[in-house]
């Protein structure tokens, strides 16, 4: 009498579900990387042990070639006040974060702060200015 089992064990491995998982992870990381917005302008920020964190609204950069960038677009020093006004017109109580390379002389930083203060005086805005720093090493 020959008895046959109903359930046969299949010794073949199907990798279809594994490739689906890999593609799902790939899509996840692609979407995640587009949501992360790294600083496009490379700066060496000054060090500080301060842990003050403010709500960041707008960013102005000064790189090591003493060029001004208002939210990633390059601006001449003479047009800085107009650029700050246009940037903050919709939010009169915004915070302007200054990201300045550590090799930049203080005069360039003061020029940006003066432009923000002149916009405050002329328009009645209450813009705040903070200096971004790197953690103390």
77 near 114, Cβ under 8 Å?
Answer: no
- Interhelix angle 80-88/106-123, nearest 10 degrees: 50
pLDDT tens digits along 16-43: 788 888 999 999 988 887 766 555 566 5
Which of the four pLDDT bands, split at 50, 70 and 90, describes residue 54?
A: low
**Tokens describing residue 68:** 């001004």
pLDDT tens digits along 68-104: 998 888 899 888 888 888 888 888 888 888 888 888 8
Interacting residues of 130 by C-beta distance below 8 A, sequence separation 6+:
52, 54, 95, 96, 97, 98
> What percent of the chain clears pLDDT 90, i.e. is strictly above it?
9
Q: Which domains does the chain have, with CATH numbers?
A: 47-135 (3.30.420.270)
More confident residue, 48 or 81: 81
The DSSP result for 39-67, as a single string, is -SS---PPEE---------EEEEE-TT--
d(CA 21, CA 114): 54
Query: Model pTM greater than 0.85?
Result: no
pLDDT in the model for residue 37: 59
Q: The tokens 């790197």 sit on which residue?
A: 134
d(CA 32, CA 74): 28
pLDDT in the model for residue 48: 63
d(CA 131, CA 46): 9
d(CA 116, CA 113): 5
């Amino acid at each position: 009498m020959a008895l046959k089992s109903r359930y046969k064990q299949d010794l073949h491995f199907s990798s279809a579900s594994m490739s689906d998982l890999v593609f799902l992870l790939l899509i996840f990381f692609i979407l995640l990387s587009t949501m992360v917005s790294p600083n496009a302008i490379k700066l060496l920020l000054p060090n500080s042990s301060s842990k003050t964190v403010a709500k960041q609204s707008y960013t102005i950069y000064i790189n090591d070639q003493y060029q001004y960038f208002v939210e990633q677009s390059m601006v001449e020093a003479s047009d800085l006040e107009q650029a700050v006004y246009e940037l903050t017109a919709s939010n009169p109580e915004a915070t302007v974060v200054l990201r300045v390379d550590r090799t930049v002389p203080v005069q360039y930083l003061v020029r940006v702060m003066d432009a923000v203060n002149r916009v405050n005086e002329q328009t009645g805005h209450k813009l705040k200015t903070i200096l971004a720093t790197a953690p103390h090493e």
